[in-house]
């Protein structure tokens, strides 16, 4: 396995002038990709402004030139397949092919905020499946009732990276995705490192098996790991970050994503900026 790609996620809770500088700093630091979230509301982002991720990426495409830009992850729960396809195809065009279309089921809280009705986990899962299948038909130009082109002339369909943490999601990844994204899932957020890394290895093995069931080479699937949402804090020390990179590589992941520092010292997404700079330099 080759070098592990390094990516950052920039929660869009600060004014654009600050966020734009962050993205330039990330590109200068040599990261391979920068992501934003797609939430209408979230308990970890209480009492802060949340900018729209899709329009933020359009702005990001104008201040960066090299790094991939993507959603981590777009929410199928309150967005229709066609509106997602249009936004993704547009970003594929304005980024000159650098867009990573990260997509997940979404959260019940976001759907409740958008529609006034909170879905069950099973309903979210079914909607995610239906959305991914319809997106595939749209991008192949085979969805009935849609006469317009699926992508801008001269552009291919965007790189599709699906977030999945269970058997049904792994099957979708194997059949439709260019990449797989995980943070371990809700069951993993409270686990210690000693239990979390084996969980990720088991998930990666399950994705392998899903690929094999549909006759796909598992090695051709990009595997992206979001670090820092649970108990593991990858940017606390350079040594800890280096260990996370190695454990991710051993677990079959070829991309790791870390949070750009947010909030005050001791809060969930905070890290010492000087340590962060040293960590980002590790993969150069």
pLDDT digits (tens, 9 = 90+) for 169-202: 999 999 999 999 999 998 889 999 999 999 999 9
Q: Which domain holds residue 90?
A: 5-280
> Looking at residue 265, what is its pLDDT?
86
User: How many residues comprise the chain?
Assistant: 284
How many CB atoms are closer than 10 A to CB 16? 14
What is the total count of domains within the chain?
A: 1
Q: Is the pLDDT of residue 283 over 80?
A: no
pLDDT band at 46 (very low <50, low <70, confident <90, very high): confident
pLDDT > 60? residue 24: yes
The CATH number covering residue 260 comes to: 3.20.20.30
The phi, psi pair for 120, rounded to 5°, reads -80, 165
Say what percent of the chain tops pLDDT 90. Answer: 90
Residue 2 has pLDDT above 80, yes or no: no
In this prediction, residue 1 carries a pLDDT of 54
Q: Which two tokens stand for residue 98?
A: 């650098």
Q: Identify which has the larger pLDDT, 268 or 84.
A: 84
Decide if pLDDT at 127 tops 90: yes
Q: Report the pLDDT value the prediction gives residue 45, as an integer from 0 to 100.
A: 83
Query: If you average pLDDT over residues 104-132, what whole number do you get?
Result: 95
pTM, rounded to two decimals: 0.95
Of 2, 85, 71, residue with least CA distance to 34: 71
Q: Would the pLDDT of 212 be above 70?
A: yes
């Amino acid at each position: 396995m080759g070098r592990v790609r390094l990516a950052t996620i920039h929660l869009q809770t600060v004014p654009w002038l600050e966020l734009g500088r962050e993205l330039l700093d990330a590109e200068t630091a040599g990261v391979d990709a920068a992501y934003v979230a797609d939430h209408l509301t979230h308990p970890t982002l209480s009492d802060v402004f949340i900018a729209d991720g899709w329009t933020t990426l359009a702005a990001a495409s104008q201040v960066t030139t090299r790094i991939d830009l993507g959603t981590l992850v777009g929410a199928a729960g309150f967005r229709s397949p066609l509106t997602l396809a249009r936004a993704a195809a547009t970003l594929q065009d304005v980024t000159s092919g650098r867009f990573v279309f990260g997509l997940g089921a979404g959260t019940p809280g976001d759907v409740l905020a958008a529609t006034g009705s909170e879905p069950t986990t099973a309903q979210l899962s079914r909607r995610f499946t239906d959305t991914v299948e319809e997106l595939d038909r749209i991008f192949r130009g085979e969805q009935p009732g849609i006469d317009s082109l699926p992508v801008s002339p001269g552009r291919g369909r965007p790189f599709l990276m699906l977030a999945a943490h269970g058997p049904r999601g792994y099957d979708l990844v194997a059949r439709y995705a260019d990449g797989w994204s995980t943070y371990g899932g809700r069951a993993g957020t409270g686990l210690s490192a000693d239990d979390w890394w084996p969980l990720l290895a088991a998930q990666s093995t399950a994705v392998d098996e899903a690929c094999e069931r549909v006759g796909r080479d598992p090695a051709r699937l990009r595997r992206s790991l979001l670090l820092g949402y649970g108990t593991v804090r990858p940017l606390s020390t350079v040594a800890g970050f280096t260990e996370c990179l190695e454990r991710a590589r051993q677990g079959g992941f070829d991309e790791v994503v870390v949070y750009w520092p947010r909030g005050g010292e001791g809060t969930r997404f905070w890290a010492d900026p000087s340590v962060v700079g040293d960590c980002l330099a590790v993969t150069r």
